[in-house]
Structure 1
Amino acid sequence: TLELPVLPLWASQGIEAVCVLTFFWEMSYKVTFMGQKAFFSSPAHLVQLLILVLDAAGIFVSAISANTLTFFNPLLRPMLFAAMSSRTRSALATFMRVLPSLADWAFLLLLLVGFYALLGVLLFGPPDPLLADDGPYFTSVPRALMTLTVLITTANYPDCQLPAYSLQRASFLFFASFLVVGLFFLMSMFLAEIVHSYRRQLDAEAVLAKARRDEGLAFAFKLLDFNHNGFVALKDFNVLIHRLQLPVLDTFSDEEELLPMGLHVPGPPRNLVTA
């Protein structure tokens, strides 16, 4: 723990239980506000409830048995954060949509690493007289794959090259060609494709958001145009602005509270806000 202060088990479980109860209260608030049908039709809400139930079950099991520690509770916390945060879900969804466009470049990288791994074992492996004692880098194909995967980030360079280079200067061509093709060409193209694909997804999301905004504005105008005159009276618009400036909890107020202000709606205020 690097001599950092650590909370006792009961304290950490108590804090986690308070957080879980707070999230459950938020879920109940959403059910009350949105309605059961709209709430349970959202996959994100179902995932949130599932994670909360599993987390609560882990806390309960640990509480009734002091010697039992649930291993999955720490794993659920980042999942719960991703499920509860709409921005995180949006970023993950964008990332998942970008992945298919990267498959070609990823496949080329795998081919390059695989080819050079086989070549490295043939050139620098123990059976080859070129290098009798090559160290831990090219003793087998799996080890060579790991070595070259790290080498493409230059994290183990020139360590992986020195044993072969000390015996044969020409071995420099093997590592130099791998770095030129893999690092300076394929990795650059791979990163460029990531940026381009991500930018393309953001542009598509911006177009979709604009279309939804225009649709929402058109629907809101239709709701405010009570007499179907093709325009919204300034008085009705002022009532709307006044209504939007009220506290959030006032959304659950009755329709009669709106009638003195001159805003006549066919349904409860919650339907108006939802629309």
Structure 2
Amino acid sequence: MSRRRRGASAGPVSLFAFQDIVTTVTGVLLLVALTMALRVAETREDASVESLLAERDRLEASLAGAEARADDLASRVDRLDDDFVGTADLNTRTAAETLAAAQDESASLRAQIAELTAAAESREREAQQLSERLADEAAQRIARLLEQQHEAERRLEQIQSSNRMLFNLPDPSAGPILVVELFPDYALAAEAGVRQRPRRFDGGDWPGTLAAWLGDQPPASRWMLFCHPGAVRPLETVRETGRELDRDVGFDLIPGGVIVVDPEHGVPPSP
């Protein structure tokens, strides 16, 4: 019963302190949360600023490299322009010099060609004149040779038709018979009817030596001359000697394959 009285007689309960505590705690929590948010934002802002600064540095470095490359390219372009201008000037001067040299060389070659052409025409005229002169000389030589041939044939015919006689080996007591076989380069002489090696005459003036030997033989000796082709001059020499010495001389012309005087046995007697 007493309890009811005490409760009924007590005043109302105040919650102000509790509200203060809740408000204070809430304010502290809010303050802590705001502080932490600010710190997080600052951290993020610092990181973003650092990233932006790094990106700015990178972009500045790239820009500097691009500007350096642009400057290098510009300098290269300038050098290429200078080279092109110099090369163009050089090529123009070189082309002009080359053209002038080619024109001079062409003129020189044309002059040389003209000289060679004139020389060739002169040589051709000289060759034609020489050919005509040689043809005339050849015709004259042929005419002279034909004339000499006719003269030789006439003389041969005259020799064949004059004083031609063949001995038939008459009485040996009338005197020895000397048989002489005349070749173009030598002669063989032997006494007819005697087996012995004939005397050979050759070298140097062998017709004169033969004529002298025949002249030294006995005056009663008779000469029989057998002449091969090409030995007409020696025949005339011996016949002239015989006429001068008043010897009995006979001759005959024989072909090249006939042998009268044997080189080993002379003119032996017939068996």
TM-score range, shorter-chain basis? under 0.3
CA radius of gyration, larger in = 2
The higher relative CO (CA closer than 8 Å, separation ≥ 6) is in 2
Q: Which has the higher helix share?
A: 1
What TM-score does the superposition give when structure 2 sets the normalisation length?
0.27
In terms of fraction of residues, the more strand-rich structure is 2
